[in-house]
Amino acid sequence: MKKGIDNSKILDAIKTALPLENKFVSLHEPRFEGNEWTYVKECLDTGWVSSVGKFVDLFEEKLAEYTGVKRAVAVVNGTAALHICLTLVGVEPGDEVLAPAMTFVATANAITYCRAVPHFVDGEEKTLGTDPYKLGDYLKEIADVRLEGCFNRLTGRRIKAVVPMHTFGHPVDLDPLVEISERYKLELVEDAAESLGSYYKGMHTGNWGKVSALSFNGNKVITTGGGGAILTNDESLGKLAKHITTTAKIPHRWAFYHDMVGYNYRLPNINAALGCAQLEQLPGFITRKRALAERYREVFGQIEGVTFFAEPDFARSNYWLNAILLDKDFSGERDNFLEMANSAGVMTRPAWTLMHKLPMFSTCPRMNLDVAERLETCLINIPSSSFLGGLHE
């Protein structure tokens, strides 16, 4: 047997960091310990459960305040938010959009909803997200910058945008990505679905993209049941985001007049009520999540053959989902470990199957994906619910 890795030691390390004994531990659970009941009851009592109501406005205000953007627009889910972000920056049928190979399928799906083509880019070990320098070298090889934009020399298609994603809440290296997007005339859209509460160089993620997307799905840092938001610092784009996600109706007391094809992507008031209550608890969630990450970091410091993924220097992460990386020699052990941990009631799972390995995206253009390929074989997510970080206090 190879020296250096022992699956039961890894499992013991996880259990040491967790407060609970002999109980099933899920990957990520929501917690409702604030004003959720009160606010939802108010919706039911007043009848304002659906597409308008004070909680939608309040949630949007509080989100903008928390993230530091000029405008937040609440929508039905993160995928819809991404779809509209891409539409707003002008992604058109036949365009290519640069997106990570290692991401949740929604990123690539949203590109496809615009009848555009995802073009997959590699990640880096430091952030688990897009490697800006490797991307820069790649574009130097394949991209032509013309007056009308950036064109892929190999496919002839326009490359309209780049969508970095903050993997498991860890910010990508945004400054060099902004530089590349300017040099190549690409619109920057942040998939910030996982990074509510994560900061890059002191500023909240979602502030670098022309528009950015958040998700409040049940497994995210805060949840509205299902939900998402579009963030932007461009007031007119913010207005347009609200308009296009609310059926593009011109406000009037009785007339139904719509001035473009809009979407019914509104977040219902009852979900926004949940969101308002969850936002109040967000700072506490993040403190506990960071405390849990710190315990993991300590225990995994002692374990050979495996590294706990920690935020890079420029980031302050929400540690939405904690991750460990098996050393190169031991990545063959991944499935054995997953089998053992899940059987023992400690929920763990691998990274997403890379996008270009899914049937609908298998023919999409892509760069060399060595790092993403390696991360796919060695990355394991471990239990990360915020309450797990509070119980040792």
Ligand X SMILES: *Cc1c(COP(=O)(O)O)cnc(C)c1O
Whichever of 110 and 364 has its CB closer to ligand X, that residue is 110
According to the binding rule CB under 6 A, does residue 194 interact with ligand X?
yes
381 binds ligand X (CB under 6 A): no
At residue 48, the 3 state secondary structure works out as coil
- 190 lies in the binding site for ligand X (CB under 6 A): no
State the DSSP H helix or E strand holding residue 235, giving kind and residue range, or none if neither: helix 235-244
- Tell me the two tokens of residue 197: 């509460």
Which one of 39, 55, 104, 285 is in contact with ligand X (CB under 6 A)? 104
Binding to ligand X in span 128-167, by CB under 6 A: 165
Nearer to ligand X, 101 or 306 (CB): 101
Q: Which of 40, 116, 193, 231 binds ligand X (CB under 6 A)?
A: 193
Pick the piece of the chain touching ligand X (CB under 6 A) from 76-84, 113-121, 263-271, 324-332.
76-84
Q: Which stretch binds ligand X (CB under 6 A): 100-108, 128-136, 229-237, 277-285?
A: 100-108
> Helices 269-300 and 36-46 meet at what angle, rounded to 10?
170
Least distance CB 151 / ligand X (angstroms):
27
CB 164 within 8 A of CB 100: yes
107 binds ligand X (CB under 6 A): yes
Q: How many residues bind ligand X (CB under 6 A)?
A: 14
Contact between 225 and 218 (Cβ < 8 Å)? yes
320 Cβ partners below 8 Å, 6+ apart? 28, 168, 169, 194, 195, 198, 220, 221, 289, 384
Smaller CB separation from ligand X, 268 or 305: 268
The three-state DSSP-derived secondary structure of 147-195 is CCEEEECCCCCEEEEECCECHHHCCCCHHHHHHHHHHCCCEEEEECCCC
List binders of ligand X among 199-218 (CB under 6 A): 215, 217
Is 58:276 a contact under the CB 8 Å cutoff? Answer: yes
Residue 306 pairs in a beta bridge with 326
| Candidate residues 171, 197, 228, 305; the one interacting with ligand X per rule CB under 6 A | 228
Residue ranges that bind ligand X, judged by CB under 6 A: 77-79, 103-104, 106-107, 165, 191, 193-194, 215, 217, 228
